[in-house]
Amino acid sequence: MTVAGPRPTTLRLGIDLGGTKIAGVALGDDGHALAELRAPAPRHDYDATLAAVAEMVRALERTAHGTGSIGIGMPGSLSPASGLVQNANSTWLNGRPLQRDLEARLGRPVRLANDANCFALSEAVDGAGAGARSVFGVIIGTGCGGGLVFGGALIDGPRGIGGEWGHNPLPWAGPAEHPGPKCWCGRLGCIETWVSGPGLEADHAQATGSRLASEAIAARAAAGDAAAQASLDRHSGRLARGLAHVVNIFDPEVIVLGGGLSKLVHLYAVLPGLVSPYVFAEQARAVVKPPVWGDAGGVRGAAWLWG
Ligand SMILES: [Zn+2]
């Protein structure tokens, strides 16, 4: 005689491998989260990173009482040519066969994608871009990434960099913006050096001599501080030019902002008007929306890598 236990559930596991934390979600059939977990990410230790991801998979499946497909959002991307990690600011992952090593450790297939791509996919599937044919998901936080979704699928080309706009130069740069700050990627004046959180903070510090966090700059501007408002204005103008450059190529129906600076609510009011003068079309206004899933977009999009 067999005793019937609870039927194991088929899950979609999503894991967001960040620089300081690993977040995980187990989605049921209907997209509801059955388990959500967080753990510190090992730093500067590749083998410990593999072990931590494997432990997150086990913990999610224990908590959600099932087994599932595994999708992982990561900094940087896998080079389609070599299968090795490239462009990760968690530099201890670069040059490593992360997919192969995780599959060997877990004994099943794993899909990996850039974390900004996962965010874009999540918001396109059932977030702020739901129902739109084309979505540009933008991460503006510590860094500046992006992902393009068309017809429900990520645009991920032969180099694995679809939607990466942060390391193009700031478009329509004025004399005071050229050549621009040095970027960690080795170039000067990348969009990321201007519009990321650290970019806004460095620009404000240079203008005022006062080093403040992005939220504090926004709070001071809201309280009537003219210098803080000027910093926000420079920042939103640069962000708008960066977005307009992508609009002129991809023409997305919806732009969704993510990352820490997506919490700066003034951006949704000012960006459509600031983007317009740079867009090569009669209907030049952009639709810019806040994320529906907030910080959970990365893990949810990772789970959706299996459709
Ligand atoms: Zn750069």
Q: What is the mean pLDDT of the chain?
A: 94
Distance CA(147)–CA(119), nearest Å, equals: 8
Residue range 115-128: average pLDDT?
95
At residue 294, the pLDDT reads: 86
- In this structure, the number of other CB atoms found within 10 A of the CB of residue 172 comes to 14
> What is the distance in A from the centroid of ligand 1 to the CA of 242?
13
> What is the distance in A from the centroid of ligand 1 to the CA of 146?
14
Q: pLDDT tier at 6 (50, 70, 90 boundaries)?
A: low
At residue 100, the pLDDT reads: 98
Better-predicted residue by pLDDT, 188 or 18: 188
> What is the distance in A from the centroid of ligand 1 to the CA of 191?
7
> What is the distance in A from the centroid of ligand 1 to the CA of 62?
41
- Tell me the two tokens of residue 91: 């530099």
pLDDT digit string, tens, across residues 290-303: 999 988 899 999 99
pLDDT digit string, tens, across residues 48-95: 999 999 999 999 999 999 999 999 999 889 998 999 999 888 889 999
> What is the distance in A from the centroid of ligand 1 to the CA of 166?
7
Note the maximum CA span of the chain. 81
Residue range 153-164: average pLDDT?
89
> What is the distance in A from the centroid of ligand 1 to the CA of 258?
19
33 and 25 Cβ atoms separated by less than 8 Å: yes
56 and 68 Cβ atoms separated by less than 8 Å: no
> What is the distance in A from the centroid of ligand 1 to the CA of 183?
5
> What is the distance in A from the centroid of ligand 1 to the CA of 152?
28
> What is the distance in A from the centroid of ligand 1 to the CA of 35?
36
Q: pLDDT tier at 137 (50, 70, 90 boundaries)?
A: very high
Which residue's structure tokens are 């090992």? Answer: 42
> What is the distance in A from the centroid of ligand 1 to the CA of 213?
21
At residue 41, the pLDDT reads: 93
Distance CA(231)–CA(279), nearest Å, equals: 24
> What is the distance in A from the centroid of ligand 1 to the CA of 77?
15
Q: Does the pLDDT of residue 4 top 70, yes or no?
A: no
Q: pLDDT tier at 5 (50, 70, 90 boundaries)?
A: low
> What is the distance in A from the centroid of ligand 1 to the CA of 120?
21
pLDDT digit string, tens, across residues 250-270: 999 999 999 999 999 999 999
Residue range 277-292: average pLDDT?
95
What's the distance, Cα to Cα, between the start and end of the chain in Å? 38
At residue 238, the pLDDT reads: 98
> What is the distance in A from the centroid of ligand 1 to the CA of 243?
16
Q: Does the pLDDT of residue 2 top 80, yes or no?
A: no
Better-predicted residue by pLDDT, 100 or 18: 100
> What is the distance in A from the centroid of ligand 1 to the CA of 233?
22
> What is the distance in A from the centroid of ligand 1 to the CA of 187?
5
In sequence order, what are the residues at sequence separation of 6 or more whose Cβ sits closer than 8 angstroms to the Cβ of residue 93?
46, 49, 74, 75, 76, 85
Beta-sheet pairing, 254-258 with 288-289: parallel
Question: Is pTM, for the whole model, over 0.85?
Answer: yes
Ion ligand 1 contact residues with beta carbon within 5 A: 167, 183, 185, 187, 190
Phi/psi of residue 187, nearest 5 degrees: -100, 175
